[in-house]
Amino acid sequence: MSTRLTIPAIRPQVLVSLVALAIAFLVLLVAAPAAFTSHLDEPPDPNESIDDPIPGHIEDGDIQVELETLAEGRGLTAPNWGTYAPGQQNTLYVVDQDGPLWAIDIRTGRKTVVLNTRPLLVPLVPGDERGFLGVAFDPDFGTNGRLYTYTSERIPNNPEGSPAVQPNHRSVIREWVVPAANRVPDPRNAPNNDDNAQGEFGVEPGATREVTSFVQPQFNHNGGAIFFGTRPEERDLLYVTSGDGGCADDQNMQLGLGGEGPCIGHGPGSEATAPNKAGNGQSLDTPLGKILRLDPTGTYPEAALPETIYAYGFRNPFRASSDRADLGGTGEIWTADVGQNHIEEVDGRVQQGGNYGWHFKEGQWLFNPFFYELRGFASDGFVYGFSPGQPADMIDPTAEYDHDEGVATIGGFVYRGQRIEELRGHYVFGDYSDGFNSANGRVMYVDESDDADIHERTPKVFNLINGHTNLFVNGFGEDANGELYALANKTGIPFEETGVVMKLVRQCAPNRDCRD
């Protein structure tokens, strides 16, 4: 006796739904980046480069602001970081890459040099990433006078500062103690281009204390952010960012932009040409490629510095900040991490102990350092697979964009000011320029709720001003009230007095220099 298998009839509407589901899955599979298959049966080919990882472009956001010039030129060269001293509501302190620390009156734009680190610095060259990179004021600066700087300083075998010499320089964190009588400068009556040896703080470079230092193999990828935590339990802890040591691809044997080569200092195994998890970014035995956290009243020999690692897996976290807990923020750390050849990333709410992927990943993309050739400004490394969430021990960025939009992301701040209500809670950052020789920097913001298709536009990242600045964007500043400033210059080099400090405003005042 035979048994007949009876298949129940499928209702037409169910059949239509099943067909639609199958078509949707096939469309998704075809449309997704090549390495969507990394989560299916076939892994991506590590030798197959993806040349345009994010086809969609960055568009103007619903939030739009203007940039009103506060200070320009007259000694200001390459401003790259702006901050405040506790209790000083009307002064923005601006770090100038070639050495001065400026105090700028946010009401008038008048400025004066209050500190000069130039005698400490390695001699700078065009295109340099070294110099005076950051300053942080102790939360009790008004009573103890302490502030901390991040400078690129000489080492004995490189007295002339040539980028081709390896190892190249030291990154140094210094403590300065300002006399009580000099802690509140008044730039309103300043000569506006003061460039004396000490400045109004009256502290000689030789009178400072070295908190820690670490050797930089090359002249580029120095990180340079320095800031205090803003949560009550972190207010006395200092955060410092460091790049992966420079050259390219976090890899020994590379050829460098400064003519150095083969490049050194990236650890054993980094010179392997297959995708690997070597390099300084992934090593817990070096301060390079990290966000560090330390008690600045102590002294940290370089050998002990890895004990202070807060997070790792970074290429060049150029600017990081704490979301101002004292102004209603979370106190969490945000950073922008400069990419290699394809992906620029923003890492929000950085997790303590977190691994952010470099050089095994660049953003959400698997990265192959390949060999050692330098092609123009880029190496021969490439991304080859889209791999969100994998490997599971690496944390993906909050937002990312590719090099169709810019060349180097510049970290900023979560906006906690009062003047632009719709911007509150959004991370504001930028990009240096759309090319290394064109002054077309961007100012942007992150909208984490955006889920655009990458083929239609770049998700989560929006222009905050309508178009480019016609300047090289070097950094951002935040005043005591949480208002933000874009810092830029016209030349892209740490020479010539073309620096500009601009305030983010809803609308520029009449007769003021304005970029919108």
DSSP string for residues in 76-143: ---EEEEE--TT-TTEEEEEETTSEEEEEETTT--EEEEEE-GGGBPPP-TT---SEEEEEE-TTHHH
Which residue type does 34 have? A
DSSP 298: S
- Closest by Cα among 480, 479, 476, 482 to 502: 476
pLDDT in tens, 67-100: 999 999 999 999 999 999 999 999 999 999 999 9
Residue 192 has pLDDT above 90, yes or no: no
Beta carbons of 86 and 510 less than 8 angstroms apart: no
Burial of 34 (0-12, 13-18, 19+ CB in 10 A): middle
Kindly report which listed range (12-21, 276-285, 339-348) carries the lowest average pLDDT score.
Answer: 12-21
- Residue 5 confidence class, pLDDT cut points 50, 70, 90: very low
Residue 160 has pLDDT above 60, yes or no: yes
Average pLDDT of the residues of the chain? 90
pLDDT in tens, 478-496: 999 999 999 999 999 999 9
220/31: higher pLDDT: 220
Q: 3-class SS at 383?
A: strand
The whole-number average pLDDT for the span 135-142 is 98
* CA distances (Å), origin 226, targets 52, 90, 158: 34, 21, 25
The whole-number average pLDDT for the span 245-263 is 94
pTM, two decimal places? 0.91
* CA distances (Å), origin 48, targets 366, 367, 383: 11, 11, 8
- The domain made up of 44-515 has a fold known as Neuraminidase (2.120.10)
The whole-number average pLDDT for the span 165-181 is 97
**Distance between CA atoms of 129 and 223, rounded to whole angstroms?**
9
The whole-number average pLDDT for the span 143-171 is 95
Q: Taking the CA of residue 134 as centre, how many other CA atoms within 13 Å lie in the half-sphere pointing to its CB?
A: 28
What is the model's pLDDT at position 381? 95
What is the model's pLDDT at position 53? 97
The whole-number average pLDDT for the span 454-472 is 93
- Residue 191 confidence class, pLDDT cut points 50, 70, 90: low
The set of residues, in sequence order, having a beta carbon less than 8 Å from that of 298 and lying 6+ positions away, is: 211
pLDDT in tens, 36-64: 333 435 789 999 999 999 999 999 999 99
What is the model's pLDDT at position 424? 98
Beta carbons of 152 and 175 less than 8 angstroms apart: no
Which residue is it, tokens 């655009």? 452
